[in-house]
Amino acid sequence: MNTNKIREDFPTLREEGAPAYLDNACVTLKPDCVIDAITEYYTQYPGCGGRSVHRYGTQVSKKVSDSRRSLASFLNAPSVNEVVFTKNATQSLNQIAHGMKWSEGDVVLTTDREHNSNLVPWLQLEQEQGIDHRVVPSNADNTFDLEAFEEICSEVGDKLKLVSMSHVGNLDGVSIPIKEIAKVTHDHGALIAVDGAQSLPHMKIDVQELDIDFIAFSLHKMCGPSGMGGLWGKADLLDDLRPIQSGGQTVVTSNYDSLQWAKPPARFEGGLGNFSGMIGAGAAIDYLAKMDMDAVHEHEIKLNKIMSSAIKDLDGIEIIGPDDASLRGGICSLLTSDLSVHDMAILLDESAAVMVRSGLHCVHSWFNDRGHINGSLRASAYMYNTEEEARLFSDTLEEIVNVFS
Query: Left if phi > 0, otherwise alpha if psi is -120 to 50, otherwise beta: which for 282?
Result: alpha
Q: Average pLDDT for residues 112-140, to the nearest whole number?
A: 98
Alpha helical stretches, state H, 157-219: 178-187, 207-210
Out of 153, 223, 332, 362, the active site residue is 362
% of residues, the chain, pLDDT over 70: 100
Give the span between the Cα atoms of 107 and 130, in whole angstroms: 10
163-209 pLDDT tens trace: 999 999 999 999 999 999 999 999 999 999 999 999 999 999 999 99
Q: What pLDDT does 60 receive?
A: 98
66-89 pLDDT tens trace: 999 999 999 999 999 999 999 999
Confidence of residue 375 (pLDDT cuts 50, 70, 90): very high
Q: Are residues 184 and 315 in contact, defined by beta-carbon separation less than 8 angstroms?
A: no
Whether residue 362 lies in the annotated active site: yes
5 contacts: CB under 8 Å, gap ≥ 6: none
Q: Which domains does the chain have, with CATH numbers?
A: 3-28+292-404 (3.90.1150.10), 34-289 (3.40.640.10)
Structure pTM?
0.97
Q: Average pLDDT for residues 92-98, to the nearest whole number?
A: 98
Give the span between the Cα atoms of 328 and 318, in whole angstroms: 14
Q: What pLDDT does 51 receive?
A: 87
Q: Kindly tell me if the per-residue pLDDT of 405 is higher than 90.
A: no
Q: Are residues 298 and 52 in contact, defined by beta-carbon separation less than 8 angstroms?
A: no
Q: What pLDDT does 1 receive?
A: 87
State CA 371 to chain mean position distance: 26
Q: What is the average pLDDT score of the chain?
A: 97
% of residues, the chain, pLDDT over 90: 98
